[in-house]
Amino acid sequence: MSGADLGLMAMATLLGVPAIAALVLVLVSGYRFGARLNVGAALLCLLAAAALFQARPEANLYLRVDDFNIYLIALNNWVSFTTSVFSAGYIAHELETGRLTPAYLRFYHAMYQALLFAMNLALLANNIGLLWVAIELATLVTVLMVGLYRTHAALEAAWKYFILGSLGIALALFGTILVYLAAQPAIGQGLPAMAWDRLLAHADAFDPALLNLAFIFLLLGYGTKAGLVPLHAWLPDAHAEGPTPISAVLSGLLLNVALYAVLRFKMLMSANPSALAPGPLMVGLGLLSLLFAGLMLYRRGDIKRLFAYSSIEHMGIITFAFGMGGPLANFAGLLHMTLHSLTKSAIFFTVGHISQVKGTQRISTIRGLTVTHPTLGWGLVAGVIAIAGMPPFGVFMSEFLVVSSTFARQPLLALPLVVGLLLAFGTLLWRLHGVAFGQPDNAAFVPVRASTLPTTVHLLLVLVAGFWLPEPLVAWFRHVAVLLG
């Protein structure tokens, strides 16, 4: 089998396996078979993503694997696989306690695979219209999953997500149409004027006025999906009311996919010398998100909402880094995007089991976990230390690179950046103290099927990244940092 054929098979697996698994899982009523099929399908996609490093398929007008998306595809399917492993035990407990019925369980597993399909399609898309369709599909699927428990609060969160997500996706659609109109004079009508490779090759000939207007709509539209302030309001509710595995996927993956779309269009803007510089807009939204989330962290009483605002904070850091641009800031943004995905998903794995053993998500009633549940307690301690940006975890290095590159180029911007980081740092450690080391209550131990392997592996990867990064990964970060401008 030639390399191109292997790459084509891998790409077909990334799309075909989750699509077929979703259809099969709708019909499967047994929990064990459904959970195993969910894990198995995610594993096949992970193996297919790894195969793309050995052989890439040739690009066409619909799909493409290039230097930018290949590592994000691998990250997406890695976290999807580990989340499916965590989900098996978590959802079993929800079924046993009656929070989920067998019918809803089938729906959950089917929607999980549909979401994996949508995210893979968005990352593989070589067509700006197909990218929009994939992110719209991901939006609809996650709306359904957020309301899975069918409580009043869950349905309200799903409805809010639907309204704001629809607003964002409508803005992104308008921006996509404007990019197509800008490309027509240079490329012509039809699919070629919607293909990323053709758009990048001819971007310098596009009407800059149309590109400027398009990017504003696209930044606001896809920025809504990325959880950027002021269009972030759906995110805390969605995390708090939906199943915890979906919180892990939302924070660890779907936010990245939305920001990936923004970065693709940023590359178009950078390739047109007469177009508006996208950096200041991204820096502004990034700083606003960072500072707002840092302040809001102090007022959270729900542990999942707390880490939802932490996700907004970190998407602000990443957006700020890419807005600053340049080799070092872009490198830091890519590294932070990767490490945030691994760390935040690990935190939600732990928080999901904590909420099950304690029977609550209220921070005030979760005390002394390192005494009552040492594995979960110390897992949360490690996760919070990592996400707060403390050494020796890799998040410290990525945040250090963002701050140092800002000091070197725009010292005045470094002040609000550091203030935002310190706000979040102080809140997380303050909250951690009581939850992990406070006076434990006398509540009875509630056994759960808690698999600590996904959490352990993720945090070990983030720890290792604080000391050492594989040379191929560093080379990829450097190469893509140059592409991003």
Question: What's residue 301's pLDDT?
Answer: 78
State the number of CA atoms in the 13 A half-sphere of 478 facing the CB: 7
The DSSP result for 234-274, as a single string, is HHHHHHHHS-HHHHHHIIIIIHHHHHHHHHHHHHHHHT-TT
Question: What's residue 446's pLDDT?
Answer: 55
Question: What's residue 447's pLDDT?
Answer: 56
Span 216-270, pLDDT tens digits: 999 999 999 888 988 888 888 888 888 888 888 888 888 999 999 999 999 999 8
Residues in the chain predicted with pLDDT less than 50, given as ranges, are 444
Cβ 200 vs Cβ 191: under 8 Å: no
Rg (the chain; Cα; Å): 21
What span, in angstroms and rounded, lies between the C-alpha atoms of 33 and 39? 10
**What is the C-alpha end-to-end distance of the chain, expressed in Å?**
37
What span, in angstroms and rounded, lies between the C-alpha atoms of 242 and 83? 15
Cβ 62 vs Cβ 133: under 8 Å: no
Packed helices 453-465 and 374-387: angle between N→C axes, nearest 10 degrees: 30
Question: What's residue 96's pLDDT?
Answer: 73
Q: Is 229 left (phi over 0), alpha (psi -120 to 50) or beta?
A: beta
